[in-house]
Amino acid sequence: VLSGVLLLFFYKPSIFLAWHSVYQSEARFNIKLFLHTVHRYASDGFMFFIIVHTIKAISEGRFVRGFRWSWWTGIGLAFLMWTAGWSGYFLLWDSTSSQVGIFTAKALDYLPIFPDILKRSFVDERSVGSLLFFLIFFVHISFAIAFVIGLWIHISRLRRTRYFFKKNVVYKLGLFLLFFSFFFPVSQQPKADLLSTKAVVQGDLFYLTPLILEKYLSFKTVLFLMFAGFFVLLIFPVFERRRKERQAPYVLSKRCTACRQCFQDCPYGAISMKKTEEGREAAFINPELCIECGVCVGACDPQGIVFPQLPIIDSRKKLRDWLRKSKGEKKGVVFVCAQGAGMDLRIKEEDGTCEEIPEAFVLPVTCTGWIHPTFFELLAREGVSKVLVVGCGETAPYHRWGARLAQRRIKGERHPRLRIDKIKELDIMYIHYGADDFEGFLNSAEKFFSEAEEEVKDKVKTFRWGRKVRRAFVEGVSLIIFGFILFAGFSNFAGVSIGTYDKALLVLSLKAEGVPVKVEERKDNSALLPHMRAKGAVRVERHPVSARILVDGKEVLSAKFKPIGIFKEGDSVGYKEVFIKPGRRKVVLFLDKNGDNNPELKVEKNIVFKKGRKVVLEVDNNEIKWWWKNDHVYPAKWTDQLSGSGFNIR
């Protein structure tokens, strides 16, 4: 956003000035190109993180049940972001911009909402016009604003949402972008040339994949793959694996004291406060929004929430039985989040033992926020000396702030608080380890259960400090490697050449009015008000316009163009391309507007066709324009005024 705002001071939304306003500079250091590079790399990085976020959501199953709304709005946001980036490429008006415009026009021509063929707008620079530039510029900015609004909708049901990165992350990403933008600027492309049959497209897989695929596949195939991929993502929640029906969590309204603690702690807004039949307020869990994290169980002081997936009463009984059967051999218990490093533990469900942590019993939980403070009081009464609580990663906890809430409850900073006077002899330690740091988790657990309390605290602290140093080093190296892979491999690799180089192209762009076939007049309109009375014909049905083109006496094109409109009363429009061998050729055009195979118009011209160049034959009702030169500012044109029979508009 910041780089885009700064670019506004230099950018000029005009077909004749856009390229110069970004790429050309008399200064030794082109600040405009630098800002453009930052803007480009930032948008590519944004799309990269959207892709990573989508893959992460799929791998964690965050597209079913209570996540459906977030999934569908997220797909819409990804589409908005991609469209904003796609339209941004058009605004530069370089060789990539022309291909983006032509591809978009061809795609929109499949929609039956435009009266004309949009691809006809890209036969030459004057047909594009600066008004279209301003429109695309408006779309580019408005889609970015719509993304911000959509982001609020996307996370509307989440509580305590953090909208911005932490400061250290912002500084790292900012320096990372500035470094690569300064030393590896984007390649400068030539100005767009619509009369060229070839073009070099920027190598950007995040936004320009359709153009790159079009080199190897047909346009219809690429368009089908785009819509099919978008449709599959939309219906992805339908592919949820069918699971056994189980009862959703619910609140025992008679036990509920309406303290609102579960309502405040639910990360996904699945709990609301409603009136019961007795007329008092109580919590209610919406099963459609609940993702069964269990955070509300640990938040309920009177223990009035039933959690069928992991019943709190059964878990207490299980722990009590394990401890009494061991007869004091094991004095430790580990509560481990099943979504973090603990997912790799080999735990025996029947007795709670684990090969990796032989000193303690291990109880996996859906989230450490599920743990109620009374668990620790029970363990203290049963003679347990040490309890280790292992949450998932601090940076991206699986159930958002569930792990943080559990830690604050243990410290006595959040209700329901742990009563210290009930657990004087109990040593509790809370640590965070994500699924990617299983070894670090085991090392911390071993130190905690094998050494004295003071030694454990010092060594664990030293161990964590060592982790931070190693983590900073790994982050720095990873960012550099990531930058080269992202920008050199996906965002700014060598341009892809599309089109043909060894042939010339003859383009027919036609808009002509066929002769009326059927005219219906209103019989009596005297009963209507004067301003509502139609003059003359109210419905005209016209003949299609036929066109034939001969090159050196050989027919290369024969097509019939139907009139547009529901009642076939409009002009006939069409766009055709034919490859021609280079050299001096005699081109003859025949137009038939009566449908009797007797052309009313014959136009011929000798033209030199060159390799890699287009010759445009534009028929626009009462005149024909030939285009084959382009000096990048104003295209030269030769116009033949027509006076053939039946061609002039009356």
Q: State pLDDT tens for residues 339-364.
A: 888 888 889 888 888 889 988 999 99
Q: Which of 215-229, 371-385, 417-431 comes out lowest in average pLDDT?
A: 417-431
Fold of 2-239: Cytochrome Bc1 Complex; Chain C (1.20.810)
Q: Output the pLDDT for position 455.
A: 46
Tell me the mean pLDDT in the region 34-57: 89
Measured distance CA(19)–CA(94) in Å, rounded: 6
- Asked if residue 96 lies in contact with residue 89, where contact means CB atoms within 8 angstroms, the answer is yes
Please provide the DSSP assignment of 78-124 as one string.
HHHHHHHHHHHHHTT-BHHHHHHHHHHHHHHTTSTT-SS-GGGGGSS
Q: Which of 309-313, 542-546, 634-638 comes out lowest in average pLDDT?
A: 634-638
Residue 30 has pLDDT above 50, yes or no: yes
Question: To 10 degrees, the CA torsion angle through 394, 397, 400, 406?
Answer: -70
What are the CA-CA distances from residue 387 to residues 6, 106, 513, 600 (Å)? Answer: 55, 65, 86, 96
Percent of the chain topping pLDDT 70:
84
Tell me the mean pLDDT in the region 88-117: 89
Between CA 324 and CA 332, with CA 330 as vertex, the angle to 5 degrees is 105
Question: To 10 degrees, the CA torsion angle through 279, 280, 283, 285?
Answer: -10
Measured distance CA(189)–CA(199) in Å, rounded: 10
Q: pLDDT confidence of 516, banded at 50, 70, 90?
A: confident
In the sheet with 386-391, reading across from the earlier edge strand, the strands are 360-365, 332-337, 386-391, 427-432
What is the total residue count of the chain?
650
Q: Output the pLDDT for position 290.
A: 87
User: Both tokens of residue 395?
Assistant: 């940076």
Q: pLDDT confidence of 635, banded at 50, 70, 90?
A: very low
Tell me the mean pLDDT in the region 44-51: 89
Residue 141 has pLDDT above 50, yes or no: yes
Q: pLDDT confidence of 283, banded at 50, 70, 90?
A: very high
Tell me the mean pLDDT in the region 34-60: 89
- Asked if residue 294 lies in contact with residue 315, where contact means CB atoms within 8 angstroms, the answer is no
What per-residue string of b and e applies to 394-426 under the rule 16 or more CB within 10 Å gives b? eeebbbbbbbbbbbbbbeeebebebeeeebeeb
Measured distance CA(395)–CA(410) in Å, rounded: 20
Judge if the upstream peptide bond of residue 416 is cis by omega within 30 degrees of 0.
yes
Better-predicted residue by pLDDT, 560 or 487:
560
Average pLDDT, the chain: 82
Q: pLDDT confidence of 452, banded at 50, 70, 90?
A: low
Measured distance CA(500)–CA(52) in Å, rounded: 36
What per-residue string of b and e applies to 301-335 under the rule 16 or more CB within 10 Å gives b? beebbbbeebebeebeebbeebbeeeeeebbbbbb
The whole-angstrom distance between residue 377's C-alpha and the CA centroid of its chain comes to 48
Give the H or E element holding residue 131. helix 125-154
Residue 185: name the closest of 349, 23, 5, 400 by CA: 23
DSSP state for residue 347 in the 8-state scheme = B
Q: What are the pLDDT digits (tens) for 473-511?
A: 666 666 667 666 666 667 666 677 887 778 899 999 998
Residue 640 has pLDDT above 60, yes or no: no
Q: What are the pLDDT digits (tens) for 299-330?
A: 999 989 999 989 988 999 999 999 888 877 88
Q: Output the pLDDT for position 187.
A: 82
Contacts 24+ apart (CB under 8 A), 414-419: 415/259, 415/261, 415/299, 415/301, 416/261, 416/298, 416/299, 416/300, 416/301, 416/372, 416/373, 417/373, 418/373, 418/376, 419/373, 419/377
Q: Output the pLDDT for position 402.
A: 84
What per-residue string of b and e applies to 576-608 under the rule 16 or more CB within 10 Å gives b? beeebeeeebebebbbbbbeeeebbbebeeebe
Measured distance CA(302)–CA(79) in Å, rounded: 46
CATH of domain 244-307: 3.30.70.20
Residue 36 has pLDDT above 60, yes or no: yes
Between CA 120 and CA 123, with CA 122 as vertex, the angle to 5 degrees is 75
Residue 623 has pLDDT above 70, yes or no: yes
